[in-house]
Amino acid sequence: MAKVKLIEVTRKFNNVTAIEDITFEVPDGEFWVLVGPSGCGKSTILRTIAGLESVTSGAVYIGDDLVNHLPPRQRDVAMVFQNYALYPHKTVAENLAFGLQMRKVASTTIRERVEKVARSLDIFHLLDRKPKQLSGGQQQRVALGRAIAREPKVFLLDEPLSNLDAQLRDDTRAELKQLHQKVGVTTIYVTHDQIEAMTLADKIIVLNRGIIQQIGEPQEIYARPNNKMVATFLGNPPMNILPGIYVGDGFKIGEQILGCPSFVRDTLKLTQGQGLDLGIRPEYIEVIEPQRRRERREEIGGGELFVDVKVIEPLGRETLVRVSLSGLDLQMEVLTPGNWRGRVGDRISVQLDLNHLFIFDPV
């Protein structure tokens, strides 16, 4: 096991900068997730750690060793890809053993490790089968097992679940987490799926266009996103963004005024007429039933907006309501209780919990 450290790593391909000035340190034994949209540089970071890609500048350390010039074989990392190429003519046991045989590990040790890994991944009963006799999920477990059996210092996983169907992906995700708790090997996991990132990570690194946007624990990033990209990327349904203009005691959105909470006025130096993006997560918007508007006027305060219901999506326990601001083509998503009885076309009033309002630069 080992920590992994990158210092100011940049990788260019001709005139394309795939990753720029990447610096982070994954402590020994932790599970970190690199997340971001397609093409943001996740795989390139993983490949520079594995040694499959050289760096244009910067330093890569595994443990205390600078590995910039070490070939992949000598880095003692194991990488698992989305298309986990198993050897089709070898049995599961032979696939698990292959990496160890290449490293001239003693055959009794190989047998012990293969059995141990097979038991921990619940593929012991499959050891004599060939890959084509396995389901996708079982094949993926063999690919993981092959990496674990080598007992590497570091695991690098590149979208390892993306070929699995939804149910299997959820199950395997939970298993991966348990496995990491058991094995405790430093793991760096790449995904574009924010749910995988939120559920698996000790820490998340959010990337966009080759640049780190934020590093932090999942809840910390969710509660205090650094910028609009991070705010809208993590969270399902995503954070709503409404463009507004600061008008002193509130924000003008179309023809409506949303109150400005005092913490915003006290901490941000906003100027009259300034354009801003206001962020609010769907769970902090409440539909105000018309019959209760009058009695709740006090607490509704400045958080009320009038909207038109566009789409209603029952999710079971909750209902996701897509609305547009009255008279504007501005969409917003609101979570209401599952038994909500509104209809498409209704004009309703919603209350935004202004304590959970985010203010972003409109870039």
Catalog residues that contact ligand ADP under the rule CB under 6 A: 13, 16, 18, 36, 38-44
Nearer to ligand ADP, 47 or 180 (CB): 47
Q: Are 130 and 89 in contact (CB under 8 A)?
A: yes
Q: Which two tokens stand for residue 63?
A: 């443990």
In this complex, which beta carbon is closest to ligand ADP, that of residue 189 or of residue 246? 189
Nearest CB to ligand ADP, comparing residues 40 and 300:
40
E strands present in 217-346: 240-246, 250-253, 256-259, 275-280, 285-288, 304-314, 318-325, 331-337
In the bound state with ligand ADP, the residue whose beta carbon lies nearer, of 34 and 164, is 34
Contacts of 126 (CB under 8 A, 6+ apart): 92, 118, 134, 138, 142
In the bound state with ligand ADP, the residue whose beta carbon lies nearer, of 46 and 352, is 46
Q: How far is the CB of 3 from ligand ADP (least distance, A)?
A: 22
Cβ-based neighbour number of residue 166 at 10 Å: 7
Instruction: Return d(Cα 267, Cα 270) in angstroms, integer.
Output: 9
> CA 254, 255, 259, 264 torsion: positive or negative?
positive
Minimal distance in Å, beta carbon 139 to ligand ADP? 22
- Least distance CB 113 / ligand ADP (angstroms): 31
Tell me how far, at minimum, the Cβ of 158 lies from ligand ADP, in Å: 8
Give DSSP secondary structure letters for 161-218.
Answer: TTTS-HHHHHHHHHHHHHHHHHH--EEEEEES-HHHHHHH-SEEEEEETTEEEEEE-H
* Distance in Å, CB of 36 to ligand ADP, minimum: 6
Which is closer to ligand ADP, CB of 81 or CB of 340? 81
Instruction: Name the minimum Å distance from CB 226 to ligand ADP.
Output: 19
- Residue 120's nearest CA partner among 180, 68, 75, 170 is 180
The whole-angstrom separation of Cα 226 and Cα 204 is 13
| Amino acid (one-letter) located at 59 | A
Least distance CB 233 / ligand ADP (angstroms) = 12
| Cβ-based nearer residue to ligand ADP, 46 or 100 | 46
Residue placing its CB nearer to ligand ADP in the complex, 200 or 323: 200
Nearest residue to 47 via CA among 188, 205, 246? 188
How many C-beta neighbours within 10 Å does residue 92 have?
27
Kindly state the smallest distance separating residue 124's Cβ from ligand ADP, in Å: 34
**Is 44 or 256 the residue whose CB approaches ligand ADP more closely?**
44
What is the sign of the dihedral through the CA atoms of 187, 190, 196 and 198?
positive
Beta bridge partners of 307: 325, 348
**What angle, rounded to 10 degrees, do the helices at 136-149 and 107-120 form?**
140
- Closest separation in Å from C-beta 43 to ligand ADP: 3
